[in-house]
């Protein structure tokens, strides 16, 4: 019998009335192209870009609770699957994200960034514990980004996804043959969402 955990469920959310409601259509189309099972949830806008991003841990936990027999692949609403993400059908680890060393892409920037726009979770006890503690950390420190809170909880206990699975369309030009492309819609929508609260 096929192991259902090896057939991942792709999940994403967007906030109603923002540009992400349009962006997610591209994600839907790209997942359909590769016959990937995608579930999307709409949330009300909380009035700021940062508050909206902090929905992520509770959303992922909800998906893990609802689909306990599936591994979960979270994708930002502005992501696009451009080739078959085979690795997600093979991974055997609690959690996987891409950690980028920006100096590889941006001259003079030596920061290390954990890119939570693509995330794999195997839906076991260890990954569920990480997500639960991540949510608590985000609630306790809403002034920092979800990525910062995730790193604090996760530490070095993760599989580092290849950059091809989390390519930012312009910063990471050196990454060839991307599997998942991120269009960074936040750069276009962040100020508008914060200013108008739409």
The CATH number of the structural domain formed by 4-196 is 3.90.550.10
CA dist 12 → 37, 73, 120, 130, 153 (Å): 11, 9, 12, 19, 22
pLDDT tens for each residue of 74-89: 999 999 999 999 999 9
Mean pLDDT of the chain: 84
pLDDT tens for each residue of 111-162: 788 889 999 999 999 999 999 999 999 889 988 888 889 999 998 889 999 9
The helix/strand/coil state of 96 is strand
The answer for 43, left when phi > 0, alpha when psi is -120 to 50, beta otherwise, is beta
């Amino acid at each position: 019998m096929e192991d259902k955990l090896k057939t991942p469920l792709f999940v994403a959310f967007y906030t109603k009335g923002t540009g992400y409601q349009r962006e997610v259509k591209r994600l839907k189309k790209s997942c359909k192209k590769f016959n990937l099972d995608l579930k999307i949830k709409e949330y009300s806008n909380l009035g700021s870009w940062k508050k909206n991003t902090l929905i992520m841990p509770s959303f992922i936990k909800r998906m893990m609770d609802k689909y306990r027999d599936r591994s979960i692949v979270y994708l930002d609403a502005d992501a696009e699957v451009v080739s078959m993400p085979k690795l997600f059908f093979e991974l055997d680890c609690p959690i996987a994200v891409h950690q980028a060393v920006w100096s590889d892409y941006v001259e003079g920037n030596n920061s290390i960034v954990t890119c939570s726009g693509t995330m794999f979770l195997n839906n076991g006890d260890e990954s569920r514990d990480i997500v639960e503690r991540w949510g608590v950390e985000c609630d306790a420190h809403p002034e920092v980004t979800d990525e910062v809170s995730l790193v604090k909880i996760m530490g070095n206990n993760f599989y580092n996804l290849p950059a091809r699975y989390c390519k930012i369309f312009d910063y990471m030009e050196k990454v060839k043959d991307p599997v998942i492309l991120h269009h960074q819609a936040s750069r276009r929508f962040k100020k508008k969402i914060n200013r108008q609260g739409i």
